[in-house]
Every structure is written in C-alpha cells, then in structure tokens.
C-alpha cells in the first residue's frame, strides 16, 4: 500500500446534488485532502473523483447544464480514477436503459435503476468484498440499482447472496450500488485512495 500522505493526494467529490458532504467527511477522516467540485477548473485540480448517491436523472441533467460531461468522459478515457456510489454508479455505466439522459460511462456494464422495487426500497446486508481485509462489509442500499451485465474485463467486487452484482472495478473506475459514506467503515474509501495515490505516482513518473 502506498502512503497517500506522502503524495498529498487531493480527491474531489462531485457536489452538484446528493450526499457529497458525507463522502468528503469520510475522505478527510481517512487523512486525505477532500474538496467539493462543481466546475471544470475544480475538476482539473484533483487526482480522483467520487460521484455520490442522489438522483442520477438530476445529476445527469446538471452535468450537461454545467458542461462537465465531455470533460469527465475525456478524463476517464485517460485513466483518471472515479468511484461512483449508487446514483454515481449509474452514471459510470456504459448502459443505463432506464435513465432518460446519457451517462458519463466508462465501465462496460449495464445497470438497472431502482432495481429493488418499492417494498424493499432500502435494506442493509453484509457483503463479502474482493480483496477487502477485515471481514464482511455492512452495506446500506437506498433505492439502489443493480448491475445486470458486465463485460468480461470488468472485475466483480461483490455480489448479493443470490448472485446479483453490486460492486465492480474496472481499471481506475469503481462502482458500488450501496452507500459506503453513511457507515463508519472507511475500508472502501481507503481502497479508492490507494487507486488514486497509485495513479498520481504513475503520472508523476511518466516520461
Ligand atoms: N434511485 C436513484 C437513482 O436512480 C439512486 C438512489 C441513490 O443514489 N441512493 O438515481
């Protein structure tokens, strides 16, 4: 593991809508610089980005209105690390058939919005997460999506007991259908900080 403190990693949380404040707090509590980002200049100043939970329709509209869609697509294509949680995961999917706007995309997967219906809109469960030390992860799902299809290169990080996919990683992109920012468990934030730290080090040593 690389030490994020030594590299002065700066992680942005997309702050157009949703629970960005909770993510920023988790990052700060994990010992890195966290900033709320809303503009292209702010996005250019960070080493990685979290797209929080909220409403993917609203966020997609605001991304288009603020002219951030193309910038994010280009940055993702160049390896920039992004972690999408819940609505954020929807925005990172190449295909979200029930979203009325285009996604940012980046992860070759299909995601289904509000996949758990109305009766079980929200639930909590313990998940086994790939390569996460320290036992199961207590995950909170709120009007959550489900990942229904993934390309072979996408690594599956976690499934529900019935086999449905709820977390994936694809190069420097992570997507989780649940809300890690409203627990006290910082392990997934630490995992993303590792991805960002490595990306920053690799970039600074590029010739
Ligand atoms: N249901 C929301 C959507 O479709 C996601 C919910 C969430 O982020 N908690 O965008």
Please give the number of the atom of ligand 1 that sits closest to the Cα of 85.
8
State residue 3's pLDDT score: 63
* Distance (Å) from CA 115 to ligand 1 centroid: 10
State residue 119's pLDDT score: 60
To the nearest 10 degrees (0 to 180), the angle between helices 187-204 and 20-29 is: 70
> What's the CA gap between 82 and 12, in Å, rounded?
9
State residue 154's pLDDT score: 98
State residue 117's pLDDT score: 79
> What's the CA gap between 112 and 93, in Å, rounded?
10
Burial class (CB in 10 A: 0-12, 13-18, 19+), 182: middle
DSSP assignment of 72-135: HHHHHHTT--EEEETHHHHHHEEE-TT-SS-----EEEEEETTTTTTTTSEEEEEE--TT--SS
Here the tokens at position 2 are 């690389």
181 labelled catalytic: yes
Query: From the CB of 30, is ligand 1 less than 6 Å away?
Result: no
Taking 70 as the pLDDT cut, the residues of the chain under it are: 1-7, 118-120, 207
**Is 155 in a helix, a strand, or coil?**
strand
Whole-angstrom CA distances from 124 to 22, 127, 143, 182, 189 are 18, 10, 12, 12, 19
> What's the CA gap between 12 and 80, in Å, rounded?
12
State residue 106's pLDDT score: 98
Q: 138-176 as b/e, with b when 16 or more CB fall inside 10 Å?
A: ebbbbbbbbbeebeeebeebbbeeeeebbbbbbebbbbb
Largest pairwise CA distance in the chain: 54
> What's the CA gap between 30 and 92, in Å, rounded?
24
179 labelled catalytic: yes
* Distance (Å) from CA 91 to ligand 1 centroid: 10
Query: From the CB of 90, is ligand 1 less than 6 Å away?
Result: yes
State residue 1's pLDDT score: 54
* Structural domains in the chain, sorted by start: 4-204 (3.40.50.880)
State residue 206's pLDDT score: 77
**Is 10 in a helix, a strand, or coil?**
strand
- On whether the CB atoms of residues 102 and 90 are closer than 8 A, the answer is no
Matching residue, tokens 């250019």 = 44
């Amino acid at each position: 593991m690389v030490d994020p403190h030594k590299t002065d990693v700066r992680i942005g949380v997309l702050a157009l809508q949703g629970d960005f404040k909770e993510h920023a707090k988790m990052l700060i509590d994990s010992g890195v610089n966290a900033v709320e980002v809303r503009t292209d200049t702010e996005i250019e100043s960070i080493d990685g980005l979290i797209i929080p939970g909220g409403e993917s329709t609203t966020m997609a509209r605001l991304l288009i209105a603020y002219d951030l869609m193309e910038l994010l697509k280009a940055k993702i294509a160049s390896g920039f690390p992004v972690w999408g949680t819940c609505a954020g995961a929807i925005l990172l999917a190449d295909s979200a058939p029930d979203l009325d706007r285009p996604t940012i995309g980046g992860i070759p997967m299909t995601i289904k919005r509000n996949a758990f219906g109305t009766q079980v809109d929200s639930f909590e469960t313990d998940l086994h997460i790939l390569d996460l030390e320290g036992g199961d992860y207590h995950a909170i799902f709120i009007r959550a999506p489900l990942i229904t299809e993934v390309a072979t290169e996408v690594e599956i990080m976690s499934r529900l007991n019935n086999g449905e996919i709820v977390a994936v990683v694809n190069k420097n992109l992570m997507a989780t259908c649940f809300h890690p920012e409203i627990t006290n468990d910082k392990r997934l934030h630490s995992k993303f900080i590792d991805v960002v730290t490595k990306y920053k080090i690799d970039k600074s040593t590029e010739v």
